[in-house]
Amino acid sequence: HDVDVIKGKKIAIVDDVISTGESIKGLTELAEKAGAIVVKKLFVLAEGDAKNRTDVEYLATIPLL
């Protein structure tokens, strides 16, 4: 029922930590299916190899434990 709110809008996805990227992949696909245009993917922390991604921005890195 909220599809009309984001349909055709440019949006940013903001989350706390990126690690494998599966969550952001699913959320991006869902948002695009609803008609949104994902222009930024932002995180507080990048864990492990996520620090090497060029499609996201983050504030700091943490090691993969």
Strand-pairing partners, residue 17, are 45
Tokens in use for 1?
Answer: 């029922």
* 2 vs 39, residue with greater confidence: 39
pTM comes to 0.87
The string of pLDDT tens digits covering residues 21-61 is 999 999 999 999 999 999 999 999 999 999 999 999 999 99
* Among candidate residues 54, 57, 62, 27, the one with its CA nearest the CA of residue 42: 57
User: Which strands, in side-by-side order, build the sheet including 57-62?
Assistant: 10-18, 37-47, 57-62
Angle at 27 between CA 25 and CA 32, to 5 degrees: 95
Residue 1 confidence (pLDDT) above 80: no
For residue 31, give the amino acid letter. Answer: A
